[in-house]
Amino acid sequence: MSSKFLNHVSVITGGSTGIGLAIAQGLLAEGARRVYITGRSRKNLYEALVLLGDAAVAIVSDVSDLADLEYLKTEIEKRGDRLDSIFANAGICEKHSFGATAEADYDRTFGINVKGVFYTVQTLLPLLTDGGSVVLTSSICSNNGMAELSVYNASKAAVRSFARTWTNDLRGRKIRVNALSPGFTRTPLMDNSLKLDHQQIDSLKEYVSQITPLGYMADPAEIASAGLFLASADARYITGIELTVDGGLSQI
């Protein structure tokens, strides 16, 4: 591996599993000095630390809780760190039938996927170096109308919008803000949020293999590599974009 992120310090929300964990692994493999990972499950965070090693700091934090975000900021400040990048990655995906969606379901999705992204970046912004990078995890669902996912789709469209507006808001500090939009990816979200069993996941994989030009469902590391690109100096002239990583699915 290269030293593309030598001495880099980053925060990855939702960093204990899936895409977030793969991003943390990639940063450390490329020389990062410290990565902060957050999540709501202490067990998942502990298991992630075993994989990541001593350069990782795990903090139990719910991105929809502003007190938790302030605690995260305090823990970073205690270590004297400044941030080179923020990966606002934490999110949930739940199916809801239009006409039978409870207010609590709506509030939970928007609380994590929209409020959580907004206040993660706003809270940590004073610690982000000028010229730093913000990568927001959106979804190809921000641009389509996938049935039974209207609340999720709208929440990810909001995330895409943040990347555009914050690019303007932060232009004076030369902070780049981009959205990363994965397609179908095999992460624990399928088990925990969508509540799919093994047979349903296998069926979904087969379906995805048929509709995706590259013929398979992505692994988290394949999405993470695109996120790492956006945070790196290789993307120094890229801001405000949505980078779609879906095996060509949304292009046909």
- Of the chain, the percentage scoring pLDDT greater than 70 comes to 100
Q: Is the pLDDT of residue 192 over 80?
A: no
Start-end of H helices in 30-65: 42-52
Tens of pLDDT, residue by residue over 209-229, are 999 999 999 999 999 999 999
Q: What is the pLDDT of residue 1?
A: 61
Mean pLDDT of the chain: 95
Domains and CATH numbers, the chain: 9-240 (3.40.50.720)
Tens of pLDDT, residue by residue over 153-183, are 999 999 999 999 999 999 999 999 999 999 9
pLDDT band (50, 70, 90) for residue 243: very high
Q: Is the pLDDT of residue 231 over 90?
A: yes
The catalytic residue among 71, 119, 152, 216 is 152
pTM of the predicted protein model: 0.96
Q: Is the pLDDT of residue 191 over 90?
A: no
Q: What is the pLDDT of residue 252?
A: 85
Q: What are phi and psi of 243, to 5 degrees?
A: -95, 110
| Cβ-Cβ contacts under 8 Å for 186 (sequence gap 6 or more) | 201, 205, 217, 218, 219, 220
Q: Is the pLDDT of residue 150 over 90?
A: yes
pLDDT band (50, 70, 90) for residue 144: confident
Angle at 212 between CA 209 and CA 213, to 5 degrees: 115
Q: What is the pLDDT of residue 205?
A: 92
Q: Look at 193 and 26; give whichever has higher pLDDT.
A: 26
Angle at 224 between CA 167 and CA 63, to 5 degrees: 60
* H or E stretch at 85: strand 83-88
End-to-end CA distance of the chain: give it in Å, rounded.
34
Tens of pLDDT, residue by residue over 24-51, are 999 999 999 999 999 999 999 999 999 9
Amino acid in the structure at residue 151: V
Q: Is the pLDDT of residue 190 over 90?
A: no
pLDDT band (50, 70, 90) for residue 195: confident
The Cα–Cα gap between 166 and 143 comes to: 19
Q: Is the pLDDT of residue 120 over 70?
A: yes
User: Quick one: angle between helices 116-124 and 150-169, nearest 10?
Assistant: 20
Q: Is the pLDDT of residue 208 over 80?
A: yes
| Catalytic residue status for 152 | yes
Tens of pLDDT, residue by residue over 57-102, are 999 999 999 999 999 999 999 999 999 999 999 999 999 999 999 9
